[in-house]
Amino acid sequence: MIDERDRKILDLLQQDSSIAVADLAERVALSTSACSRRIQKLEEQGFIARRIVVLDREKIGVPTTVYALVKTAHHADDWIEAFRKAISDIPEIVEAHRLTGHYDYILKLVLPRVEHYDVVYRRLVKRVELFDVSASISMETLKQGLAVPVDYAR
């Protein structure tokens, strides 16, 4: 069970995981050692899955976002495993979700430019058979982040 202070620690770490424990402790009104113990407990309990660095996509050279909606005629376990392997081997595909509704999957791609989508598309269809793929180009990012709401944590 976690309390409001733990939620505040999680929220602050989501904003900047490199924050010094002493600074974090001050912001949540704890001693440094007590704050450190809470962070360790949150990690052990699995609330903190990992700590990462978020790169500036423009500076890295992949400013373009494309979403590909995928339909497939295959739903057997071996096809799904081949699809998982194919998308995991393509670094430009940074997210993939299985969906309900008209499409089976949505893929988020980050690319150097729109024209590079065809390169990724060709790599994917060489590895796995797809029924239909429809791509949409993101014109503008209105909200972006990795942070999740902490109010629901129990």
| 4 has a pLDDT exceeding 90 | yes
Two tokens, residue 29: 């009104």
What mean pLDDT comes out for the span 42-48?
Answer: 97
pLDDT of residue 1: 87
Strands 93-98, 132-137: pairing is: unpaired
In tens, the pLDDT along 49-88 reads: 999 999 999 999 999 999 999 999 999 999 999 999 999 9
pLDDT of residue 142: 95
| 17 has a pLDDT exceeding 90 | yes
In tens, the pLDDT along 98-149 reads: 999 999 999 999 999 999 999 999 999 999 999 999 999 999 999 998 899 9
Report yes or no on whether pTM surpasses 0.85: yes
DSSP notation for 99-123: -SSS-SEEEEEEESSGGGHHHHHHH
Amino acid found at 43: E
Residue of 96, 90, 119 lying closest to 108 (CA atoms): 96
Give me the domains of the chain, ranges plus CATH numbers.
4-44 (1.10.10.10), 57-137 (3.30.70.920)
Q: Edge to edge, what strands does the sheet with 132-137 contain?
A: 93-98, 105-111, 64-71, 132-137
